[in-house]
Structure 1
């Protein structure tokens, strides 16, 4: 997949999914799907009407709409347009407020998730004052038509664009039509009567409702970081932990203890469950501050574990840490990259009266994690 922040170097013509896509959740995946259909050089997928009605229910999801379903016109799949996701960097809200946002999927993770869907190109539009001042008409003409040479555009129903967020998805559809470009407005996706959105996923994570957050995402929420040296307190207690150094913009869930599965990405020779390669083949624009080797896709056998996010109050911790204890595993992890998937929230962080009480609770946490993951495998 090509990743670029320059419109001049973007591959064109394009079929574009347009939005912020933080999390690349199930709703985002529906927005991306039409451009993947173009890539497959086939007629766009026409989902059954019940999927796009209030009454349909497929795997707990409902896509409400005002009509009989989302009828994608035949013939859109013709041509050689590149399946492209266009997003903004930084997030427009961050640009206007000046406040750094934490992300469900920092850039490296977003690249991995979009690549796994089959996207050919990710264009990171630099959100500058000049871009922010473009009217809806100017944005369509200058960016989408002239520079990206869009043949198809797919957006969510709540998409806003142009100066002062003046343009709606319906406006985009009308303006693009004057240039002969079709715009597909994808209805919201519901899961258990809740609209899937990045903000709703954040709220579930903040409340420790990991299973609901994972259902909205369509996969377990994950943390990826390098193992760095800590104070080795876990080793002294009999529970060695890997201290993860995460991207500073990574969104963290509720503080507490979690049941997790860990993937050690630098141990190919020790694991016979790996795929033919563990790295995503991504062509990264030199102007973007990530390297291809940082864009990894963990596909190794998981190792069960427990993870603590917090300040370790029993030992008077002063800084927040993310520590993972791997069950039934030993070895040197320093300098290696680990991806941890969150499976269940076990308990909030708490201060114990003694180290013995803390050790007893950690043992109970490990037992609970084993039981949960064993039940998960049997489902």
Structure 2
């Protein structure tokens, strides 16, 4: 997937199908829009384009870093991702200017795909009604996707964020359509885990939303060319109260049966089950004993039948009457972007 930071100067791609949104979390409903755009472009010989924004327009902490978001957008089969700086100048554009100057003139959109709650332009004045009207006027098609619901609630990044922070991983997973995850970079630590027999990879999560402090069974997938099989492991999130090391929160992963040095690599961590809450132990020896029990319990978990279903119970509003709007399958593309600074202009 080609990534542009800002609008490309000359965008000459065949029949662009443009999916627009923040896509924070790239959840089940987002993927439906993105995969449908990829399918439309593939069937018509066009180009699928994801138009997204950074930082978050609503001035709130994002679920995922920009690099994580771009990686997941790529996995939806999108050909081109354009990341617009949501600056004060950009936010001052009227809804009409956004459609005429960016969507039509700069991106040359032939089709535009959005969710039914899509708002745009200064003061969020524009909505799908205006988008459709301009589509008819300027000659591009518009497809609006109805909101999806899960467990009787609308699928939304805001609700997923609340679930993750509250440790309700199952509820978050159902709306995401995949396990709760963190995408971060392996950094050097103090090697305490190695000294007690459990070498860990210390992760910089790039300010992503994390589950509550505790120990989790996880799948880990490093961004190493040629590696597609996830590794099993145990993840710790917390402030290491037993060691009295201050208040800095850490995220460390003990990957089972992996001796490879991962310093500097990016990796995805999928949280599958919380094993226990974080707590202070009376001694390092007691902590080591508990970690050994955690590892054995996690290995038992992975030896069992692990069947993670995609978004059970989630549906489109009014679904059940038509198959027309079902999302297309991913083309299984992967982004090897290591950080948001590596996108091209």
TM-score grouping bracket, smaller chain normalisation = 0.7 to 0.9
State whether residues 220 and 343 of structure 1, in contact with CA within 8 Å, keep that contact through their aligned partners in structure 2: yes
Q: CA deviation at 1:367?
A: 2.3
State whether residues 214 and 236 of structure 2, in contact with CA within 8 Å, keep that contact through their aligned partners in structure 1: yes
- What's the counterpart of residue 375 of structure 1? 304
- What's the counterpart of residue 324 of structure 1? 253
In the superposition, the TM-score normalised over structure 2's length comes to 0.81
Once superposed, which parts of structure 1, at least 4 consecutive aligned residues long, lie more than 4 Å away? Answer: none
Q: CA deviation at 1:315?
A: 0.7
Distance 1:8 1:208 in 2: 44
Distance 1:10 1:252 in 2: 37
Q: Deviations over 1:350-370 (max 9, x none)?
A: 112222332232222212212
- What's the counterpart of residue 22 of structure 2? 20
Matched, 1:89 2:54: yes
Between stretches 27-36 and 331-340, larger displacement belongs to: 331-340
The alpha-carbon distance between structure 1 residues 334 and 8, as it changes in their structure 2 partners (threshold 3 A), is closer
Distance 2:66 2:51 in 1: 13
- What's the counterpart of residue 2 of structure 2? 2
Aligned length: 305
Between stretches 175-184 and 254-263, larger displacement belongs to: 175-184
The alpha-carbon distance between structure 1 residues 225 and 200, as it changes in their structure 2 partners (threshold 3 A), is same
The one of 195, 199, 214 equivalent to 2:154 is: 195
The one of 27, 37, 40 equivalent to 2:39 is: 37
Matched, 1:142 2:104: no
The one of 242, 250, 268 equivalent to 1:314 is: 242
Q: CA deviation at 1:113?
A: 1.7
Q: CA deviation at 1:259?
A: 0.7
Between stretches 211-220 and 19-28, larger displacement belongs to: 211-220
Matched, 1:181 2:140: yes
Q: CA deviation at 1:336?
A: 4.0
Between stretches 226-235 and 341-350, larger displacement belongs to: 226-235
- What's the counterpart of residue 347 of structure 1? 276
The alpha-carbon distance between structure 1 residues 129 and 34, as it changes in their structure 2 partners (threshold 3 A), is same
In the superposition, the TM-score normalised over structure 1's length comes to 0.74
State whether residues 164 and 209 of structure 2, in contact with CA within 8 Å, keep that contact through their aligned partners in structure 1: no
- What's the counterpart of residue 214 of structure 2? 256
State how 1:1-379 maps to structure 2 within 5 Å.
1-4=1-4, 5-12=6-13, 13-41=15-43, 77=44, 80-94=45-59, 101-247=60-206, 249-266=207-224, 277-278=225-226, 299-318=227-246, 319-377=248-306
State whether residues 227 and 243 of structure 1, in contact with CA within 8 Å, keep that contact through their aligned partners in structure 2: yes
What stretches of structure 2 of length at least 5 have no aligned partner?
309-345
